[in-house]
Amino acid sequence: MLDGNAIAGLLQEVFSAEMTTAIGTCGACGTAGPVGAAHLYRGAGIALRCPHCDAVLAKIVRNDSRVWIDLTGIRTLEVTV
Ligand SMILES: [Zn+2]
């Protein structure tokens, strides 16, 4: 067994990919589509909602030095690398 450091290069490749064209699958209804087509709501942070069932796909909160990302609502995310 290795630890997460063993996939440092893969993680860097995945998280630097163009994310608006990544295909996300909604954890609630199973619909797949580009992240850029999700509905965006702004408040204290950002919420991305499924355009088909309105479930929350992702929540993003940012301050001056950090970003918190909750992808609980996305079952899978397919990115082009
Ligand atoms: Zn949905």
pLDDT, tens digit, for every residue of 37-81? 999 999 999 999 999 999 999 999 999 999 999 999 999 999 998
- Distance (Å) from CA 24 to ligand 1 centroid: 10
- Distance (Å) from CA 31 to ligand 1 centroid: 6
pTM: 0.89
- Distance (Å) from CA 4 to ligand 1 centroid: 30
Using CA atoms, how far residue 51 sits from 7, 9, 19, 57, 70, in Å, is 33, 33, 17, 10, 18
- Distance (Å) from CA 48 to ligand 1 centroid: 11
**Local confidence band at 4 (pLDDT 50, 70, 90 cut-offs):** very high
pLDDT tens, position by position, 5-29: 999 999 999 989 999 999 999 999 9
- Distance (Å) from CA 49 to ligand 1 centroid: 8
- Distance (Å) from CA 69 to ligand 1 centroid: 19
